[in-house]
């Protein structure tokens, strides 16, 4: 059993698939106490289970507590694996309850969350992460892991928000940053078996938003698994091309060819998975389209870039949901 140097308390908001998967990753680590922080309408005595790709069903043995000052104050780290459109109301709920020393880890598809955390929790250290894990919820207490992806994490400082204007430098290949982060955060390596520190996390987010824009809306509209996008290659190509044009225009130091291969690799890696937007859209729930396509379209507007196909997908997702 792996052990963190000193006892650390990690809280994870909600009982969503990504958060429960992190709780599973942490459960064999000595000295890390994990709590799932849930809302009142859940029954916290319920035992959660996770089916891994080797066919084994694991029970998640961690504490579940309701969100309160008492459950939030002692935390060293609070993970927010919530949907982009849920972040603001959650922050309003926790802002008075969380101490200023707790590190906040934001983990969501799309963009827009960083500014909100900086607004509501200006004194808390902020990390942001992105993952390509394939994991989904089949009932409020049963979860299925279809693929173990990567987990990229980085520290957000004020100046990171201006990084888009940084000098072009080819950063497409994922760098494993040895010591870019404070050693007090060493215990975070237990969050995921394939965790990489990135000093350019903002660009990793742009990379991830491209992945989500190419996969999620099309799988939702075509009602298919990620892997079935091989039947819609022309559509995927159109989304990619519009994103690449935008990123070039924005001067983002991302290599189009490498990004295109990365998107294809994620489709293959998560081929058995229904994307998160597919699940939300097909179940009539609110989707993350605003934080993904809406964000790209807004960037397009700022730069005068027309993205006709992305606009069309955005409208289909928003209109068909109503």
Q: Which chain residues interact with ligand KPL by CB under 6 A?
A: 109, 132, 134, 211-212, 215-216, 226, 266, 270, 273, 275-276
Kind of pairing, strands 142-147 and 134-139? antiparallel
Which residue carries 């489709």 as its tokens? 267
By C-beta, is 21 or 276 nearer to ligand KPL?
A: 276
By C-beta, is 8 or 262 nearer to ligand KPL?
A: 262
Closest distance to ligand KPL from the beta carbon of 161 (Å): 23
Closest distance to ligand KPL from the beta carbon of 81 (Å): 11
What would the two tokens of residue 228 be?
């079935």
Closest distance to ligand KPL from the beta carbon of 118 (Å): 24
Q: Which H or E element spans position 31? A: strand 30-38
Question: Residue by residue, what is the 3-state secondary structure of 195-262?
Answer: EEECCCHHHHHHHHHHHHHHHHHHHHHHCCCHHHHHHHHHHHHHHHHHHHHHHHHCCCCCCHHHHHHH
By C-beta, is 188 or 215 nearer to ligand KPL?
A: 215
Closest distance to ligand KPL from the beta carbon of 292 (Å): 9
Q: What are phi and psi of 37, to 5 degrees?
A: -100, 115
Residue 45, number of CB atoms within 10 A of its CB? 6
By C-beta, is 291 or 300 nearer to ligand KPL?
A: 291
Closest distance to ligand KPL from the beta carbon of 271 (Å): 10
By C-beta, is 71 or 276 nearer to ligand KPL?
A: 276
């Amino acid at each position: 059993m792996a052990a963190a140097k000193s006892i650390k308390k990690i809280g994870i908001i909600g009982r969503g698939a990504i958060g429960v998967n992190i709780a599973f990753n942490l459960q064999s680590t000595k000295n890390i106490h994990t709590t799932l922080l849930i809302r009142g309408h859940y029954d916290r005595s319920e035992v959660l289970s996770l089916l891994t790709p080797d066919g084994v069903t694991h029970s998640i043995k961690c504490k579940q507590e309701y969100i309160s000052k008492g459950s939030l104050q002692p935390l060293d780290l609070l993970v927010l694996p919530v949907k982009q459109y849920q972040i603001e109301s959650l922050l309003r709920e926790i802002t008075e309850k969380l101490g200023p020393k707790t590190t906040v880890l934001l983990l969501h598809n799309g963009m827009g969350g960083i500014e909100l955390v900086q607004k509501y929790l200006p004194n808390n250290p902020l990390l942001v992460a992105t993952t390509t894990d394939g994991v989904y919820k089949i009932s409020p207490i049963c979860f299925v892991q279809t693929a173990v992806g990567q987990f990229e994490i980085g520290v957000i400082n004020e100046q990171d928000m201006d990084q888009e204007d940084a000098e072009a430098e080819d950063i497409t290949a994922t760098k494993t940053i040895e010591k870019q982060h404070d050693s007090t955060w060493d215990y975070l390596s237990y969050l995921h078996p394939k965790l990489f520190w990135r000093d350019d996390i903002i660009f990793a987010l742009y990379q991830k938003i491209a992945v989500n824009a190419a996969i999620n809306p099309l799988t939702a509209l075509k009602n298919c698994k990620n892997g079935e996008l091989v039947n819609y290659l022309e559509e995927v190509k159109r989304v990619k091309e519009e994103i690449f044009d935008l990123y070039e225009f924005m001067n983002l130091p991302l290599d189009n060819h490498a990004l295109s291969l990365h998107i294809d690799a994620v489709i293959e890696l998560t081929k058995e998975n229904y994307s998160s937007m597919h699940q939300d859209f097909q179940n009539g729930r609110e989707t993350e389209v605003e934080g993904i396509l809406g964000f790209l379209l807004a960037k397009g507007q700022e730069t005068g870039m027309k993205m006709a196909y992305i606009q069309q997908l955005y409208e289909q997702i928003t209109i068909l949901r109503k």
